Chains A and B, each alone.
Chain A
């Protein structure tokens, strides 16, 4: 099995190993979504007008929660040195780790977004667009989150620092993803969101690998 495939399987297993598999981030996501009508009041008209885009906040928080341990565990147990020694480029390794996180967390999140958006009074015909846009959006979050996680990997209690570094860059996917959820469907904002996802998946692993090399020195 190639090094990349082995890394993918390992990271998938690690992400799902924290008892309950994909249920942990999905549960976090459902919990955060539940807070929305509690905060806004249960008025159905208000929720229908403003609710569906708020699944994006819950998705961003769920991805942020998973980022902290992404590279910290590898630095602590020495896997980072092994990755640097392998013939495969570190950028490819980081991309594969991000892909594993997306499969482990991002895909379950976008599937869980279907009932969540319905609970927030989204119209049924908008649900496929919301699910597809969240698949792209979680990829965008993870792409840029890789940079934050790599930079803050050696820091104690890095969660808040990662959030501070990464949240400004979450803004474009959230803006366009919320436009999709707010009624634009598969139109213009969806395409721009796809562009954001492509850009962060392309650039994130390069910057993250540069930061990881600094950790190993």
Chain B
């Protein structure tokens, strides 16, 4: 399937119908998830209404990790198989992932102020998430700094792969170090949140995932259009 989409024309044909589909799916999921999380689910017995930030913060955190892993996979495919659209995908995903990471950090800080008594804490989870955000910024800056697009793609792929080491550190930081941050909600075969909160949480996660798919396809289509315009301009100038 990955090799099918190495052909930009085939990818454009696919994304022409896939993008509005994912967009509609995201809109529906947000329409269900936001009122469910904001009003129709119970408040926490300890945290009160502030627990509702969880429905924004946790899916954003999960997505920032998933997007980086996607970029890592795309970078690997780009380096090993010289796939035509893999570095386009990685470059398109980076600002989306960086925004998810920023949302995670900011909403987490807002959540921590009333519940932990501090806006920030230099523990393992927060520090490694901040490092992930900085790696995203460095990745985006690298694409902008190198003139030759193809070389920029390979350099960025190397940087992305080197940065993959951070993902297990983020995931396991709450287990390895004592921290203010909650442990993972997936404890063995059970979950550590109340079942009434699992529904809105997973709906919001699906909504964020559909949103990522939509924005990724939009960005990739824009990048391919930009390449075609550039090629056209070069041809007409020759």
Contacts and interface: CB of A to CB of B under 8 A. Distances in A.
Q: What range describes how many residues of B lie at the interface?
A: 20 to 34
B151 A168 contact: no
A93 B127 CA distance: 34
A154 B135 contact: no
Contact of A168 (B134, B141, B154, B155): B134
B138 interface: yes
Contact of B145 (A147, A152, A217): A152
A168 B155 CA distance: 17
A169 B161 CA distance: 13
A164 B162 contact: no
A171 B131 contact: yes
Nearest to A162: B138
A211 interface: yes
A217 B135 CA distance: 26
Contacts of A202: none
Contacts of B155: 151, 211, 214
Interface in B149-172: 151, 154-155, 158-159, 161-163, 166
A151 B163 contact: no
A147 B162 contact: yes
B163 to A, nearest CB: 7
A207 interface: yes
B113 to A, nearest CB: 24
A210 B161 CA distance: 12
Interface in A144-161: 147, 151-152, 154-155, 158, 161
Nearest to B146: A155
A210 to B, nearest CB: 6
Chain A CB within 10 Å, residue with most, of B127, B137, B154, B155:
B155
Contact of A154 (B127, B141, B146): B146
B200 to A, nearest CB: 33
B162 A203 contact: yes
Given A154-B146, A168-B166, A211 B134 contact: no
B142 interface: yes
A111 interface: no
Interface residues of A, number: 21
B146 A169 contact: no
Contacts of A175: 127
Question: Chain A interface secondary structure, helix, strand, loop or mixed?
Answer: helix
Interface string A202-216: 010001001100110
Contact of B158 (A147, A168, A169, A171): A147
Interface of A: 147, 151-152, 154-155, 158, 161, 164-165, 167-169, 171, 175, 203, 207, 210-211, 214-215, 217
B146 A164 contact: no
Contacts of A151: 142, 155, 158-159
B81 to A, nearest CB: 15
Interface in B117-141: 127, 131-132, 134-135, 137-138, 141
A214 B154 contact: yes
Nearest to A144: B162
A169 B159 CA distance: 11
A168 B146 contact: no
Contacts of A211: 154-155, 158
B19 to A, nearest CB: 32
B142 A168 contact: no
A207 B154 CA distance: 11
Chain B CB within 10 Å, residue with most, of A164, A167, A203:
A164
A211 B154 CA distance: 8
A215 B146 CA distance: 11
Nearest to A161: B145
A64 B24 CA distance: 47
A168 B128 CA distance: 9
A209 to B, nearest CB: 10
Nearest to A215: B151
A190 B146 CA distance: 38
B134 A164 contact: yes
